[in-house]
Structure 1
Amino acid sequence: MPPTSEILTAERILEATEEVLRRHGPAKATVVDVARALGVSHGSVYRHFRTKAALREAVTKRWLDRTSESLAGIAADASRDPRQRLGDWLAALFEAKRRKAGDDPELFATYMVLTDENGGAVAEHITDLTGQLTRIVRAGVDAGVFTAADPAATARALFQATGRFHDPGYHREWELPGVEDEFDAVVGLLLRGLGV
């Protein structure tokens, strides 16, 4: 094992786990591989993550949280008109998912496996995203530009209606010709439907 001079933290373990997953894939990556990459014993990794499943769930959550965090600023930006904020948020979500699928297809394929294993992390991610959407819809209702009796139900409907542009199951369609025009058409329809 290579010597390590840095303090072992959960974040360092998650970074190393991501690299190991990229190299070996989810079927072959082991805690021993992660420990070897860090220059520590596998027991050191287990002190931070009790099981391999806990480590895989944490790395999945970290990957999903990157998207949530990148969108949170848009959702919270009260200086933007809610219509613009909603359109920008949906566009940023689509772009974030496309980038994940296109920039590192091996790691994306790995995470497709991991998200299937970790339904709790995925459910938490969706709850966070629909919570952000709810804040935008509520701001639109308060500003008098959206009509929505129940902002949370409307946010869930918006999320479901745009699923083709952020659900990883559709990732092969995200680079097809005309997909941006289709996205714009759907968002335009939704914005008109929400309008007063």
Structure 2
Amino acid sequence: MTPEALTPERILEATEDVLRRYGPAKATVVDVARALGVSHGSVYRHFRTKAALREAVTERWLQRTVDELAEITGGSQRPAPEKLRQWLSALFEAKRRKAGADPELFETFGVLIGGNSTVVEEHIAELVGQLSEIVEEGVQAHEFVPVEPQGAARAVFDATTRFHDPAYAPEWSKPGIDAEFAAVADLCLRGLTARPADESAG
């Protein structure tokens, strides 16, 4: 490949392949350049450091999950409680699928979390933002109790951490994990739909 034909997207595609082949600890920019048939300097013209390249490929990889969940957030007229449950289930399945089918890139994600990467912070902010939209829909439709959507969304996200944080990935294939997820999701939904005792009695 000539340097002129090199694009950020082609570099990111090659980087994913290199990460899968060698893992985040051993993969280098030289490996990426070799896979593309260019000098490592050509790669650095698009991504100034190895860390920047790793963040970019992780962002691209994470965006697929964000896009998948966005279809649930904005593409349905179903009741908010049903949409919330579907969204939480889809997030869990997406993370579990990535951990099982793409372990090297999933490990890269875990490395970035340890490094307090802004990519990870932005990813979480996008997910919480989607949750906030669902909660706000539920409040507006009187399907959820009156709550501040952003705060409630963050609480739900934190309550389900075990089912999307890479630190818990080894647990995701254990027997009974689906029932445990359902129990936490049920608890979150009950908290959002519960009415005060005096209101329900009236």
CA contact (8 A) 1:57 1:118 kept: no
Q: Does 1:24 align with 2:4?
A: no
Shift of 1:77: 2.5
1:37-48 matches, within 5 Å, as 37-48=35-46
Q: 1:61 to 1:118 in 2, by over 3 A?
A: farther
CA contact (8 A) 2:58 2:105 kept: no
Q: Which residue of 2 aligns with 1:65?
A: 63
Q: What is the number of equivalent residue pairs in this alignment?
A: 194
CA contact (8 A) 1:148 1:154 kept: no
Q: Distance between the aligned counterparts of 1:74 and 1:54, measured in 2?
A: 31
The alignment's C-alpha RMSD in Å is 1.7
1:1-196 matches, within 5 Å, as 3=1, 7-117=5-115, 119-195=117-193, 196=195
**What SS does the corresponding residue of 1:48 show, helix, strand or coil?**
coil
Shift of 1:6: 8.8
**Which amino acid is the alignment partner of residue 150 of structure 2?**
A
CA contact (8 A) 1:26 1:114 kept: no
TM score, norm. by length of structure 2 = 0.90
CA contact (8 A) 2:135 2:152 kept: yes
Q: 1:66 to 1:118 in 2, by over 3 A?
A: farther
**Which amino acid is the alignment partner of residue 94 of structure 1?**
F
Which runs of at least 4 in structure 1 moved beyond 6 Å after TM superposition?
Answer: none
CA contact (8 A) 1:162 1:186 kept: yes
Contiguous gaps of at least 5 residues in structure 1: none
Q: Distance between the aligned counterparts of 1:44 and 1:150, measured in 2?
A: 48
Q: Distance between the aligned counterparts of 2:153 and 2:97, measured in 1?
A: 24
Contiguous gaps of at least 5 residues in structure 2: 196-202
Give percent identity, aligned residues only. Answer: 64
CA contact (8 A) 1:85 1:136 kept: yes
Shift of 1:149: 2.4
